[in-house]
Chains A and B, each alone.
Chain A
Amino acid sequence: MSALEQEIKVLIIEALGLEDIAPEDIDRETALFGEGLGLDSVDALELGLALQKRYGLVMDPETRNMSQHFANVANLAEFVAAAARPA
């Protein structure tokens, strides 16, 4: 598991106030929304904002496959890493 994935797990816990969950409780492939971790649409907005603040990600409505990027920690880490790479 990459350092970035670990960092994103901590970010999720802190940004969403998941007081009884530790980073190791979140598998990189676990679905974040609905079944799985059980996050909802307000969490999606909050998490988007936290990623924006931490990594300077710009998420405009043109960004494609957003629900796939946010599906689990592994996808989010890939999304953040790709956005950080100069095009």
Chain B
Amino acid sequence: MFTFAIEGWRAWAAGIHDELEWREWAQAPFCPSMAEDSVPPLAFLPAMQRRRLNMMARMVFDCAWPLAQGRSAMPLVYASRYGETARDFELLLALARGEPLSPTSFGLSVHNAVAGQWSIIRHEMTESVAISAEGDGLEHAFLEAGMLLAQGRDEVLVVAVEERPPLAYCPWVDDVPFSHALAVRLKAGTACSLSLAPGGEAAAAPLLPGALQWLRHLLSGASSWRHQAAGREWTWALNP
């Protein structure tokens, strides 16, 4: 079992940004339309630093930047199940048309691209971890964070992010109803615990993506809940 203290969190989805909006959403979850304010503007960055940040990176920076601002170096654990699928699909389409690939886009078409951009723009020399797991990517990210804290890190930043995949992927991707990101800053403590046990089958189609389900539990004031993934059962507990 791993234990943590949650020092702060932020999340982003179209039209849902601050804590009050997320609390309202958590009481009656809905699927926001992308039309509202589709791209986080990141006004705190100079335009020259923003220009290569795609939707994934912008959602992560919007959530994580205020949590890291003014604090000493902290490792980043980046979790995304589908990662740069939207970017990669564009590259595949260009290849199919026989067009040369954009060097910028090609260079950023890897799973740790956002973690790398975070490191470059923040001058963050500490390590980062990029993971891609199934529906329980957030739990794996907390596990990773727990190990970093156990190694003596003061604080760890966990981010979980998914972008709504291109239409062509929709028959196979049923767990990203809308683009979203969650960032959580953790330190050593006992207020929150996470344990893992062997489990059965995962629920066929989860109602909400893992990170947002987690946020909903957190905001509901629940003291304990379970998350079932393929062969794994995670138990979360919050100790007041």
**Residues of chain A at the chain B interface (Cβ within 8 Å):** 16-21, 38, 42-43, 45-46, 49, 52-53
Contacts of B103 on A, CB cut-off 8 Å? 42, 45-46, 49
Which residues 4-58 of B sit at the A interface, judged by CB distance below 8 A?
A: 47-48, 50-52
SS class, residues of chain A in contact with chain B: helix
Contact between A20 and B47, CB atoms less than 8 A apart: yes
Q: Is B198 an interface residue (CB 8 A)?
A: no
Q: Which of B82-104 contact A (CB under 8 A)?
A: 99-100, 102-104
Q: Is the interface of B mostly helix, strand, loop or mixed?
A: helix
The total of chain B residues at the interface (CB under 8 A) is 11
CB distance from B102 to the nearest CB of A (A): 6
A21 to B52, CA, bound (A): 15
Looking at the complex, which one of A19, A21, A38, A49 makes contact with B102 (CB distance below 8 Å)?
Answer: A49
Asked whether B231 is an interface residue with its Cβ less than 8 Å from the other chain, the reply is no
Contact with A along B106-121 (1 / 0, CB 8 A): 0100000000000000
Cα–Cα distance between A42 and B52 once the two chains are bound (Å): 11
Please judge, given known A-B contacts A17-B52, A49-B100, A49-B102, whether A42 and B47 are in contact too, CB under 8 Å. Answer: no
Binding site for A on B (CB under 8 A): 47-48, 50-52, 99-100, 102-104, 107
On chain B, the residues within 8 Å of A52 by CB distance are 100
Measured CA separation A85–B208 after assembly (Å): 59
Please name the residue on chain B nearest to A19 by beta carbon.
B47
> A18's contact among B47, B100, B102, B107, by CB below 8 Å, is which?
B47
Contact of A42 among B50, B99, B100, B107 (CB under 8 A): B107
Instruction: List the B side residues contacting A42 at CB < 8 Å.
Output: 103-104, 107
A53 to B99 CA separation, bound complex (whole angstroms):
9
Contacts beyond the supplied A17-B51, A20-B47, A45-B103: 11 A-B pairs with Cβ under 8 Å: A18-B48, A18-B51, A19-B47, A19-B50, A19-B51, A21-B47, A42-B103, A42-B104, A43-B104, A46-B104, A52-B100
Q: How far is the CA of A45 from the CA of B108 in the complex (A)?
A: 14
Complex: how many Å from CA A20 to CA B45? 12
Q: Which residues of A contact B48 (CB under 8 A)?
A: 18, 38
For A21, the chain B residues whose CB sits under 8 A away are 47
12 example contacts (A-B, Cβ-Cβ < 8 A) are as follows A16-B51, A18-B47, A18-B48, A19-B47, A19-B50, A19-B51, A21-B47, A42-B103, A42-B107, A45-B104, A46-B104, A49-B103
Q: Which residues of A contact B102 (CB under 8 A)?
A: 46, 49
Closest to A21 in B: B47
Closest to B99 in A: A53
Q: Name the residue on A nearest B100 (C-beta).
A: A49
Give Cα A53 to B9, complex, Å: 44
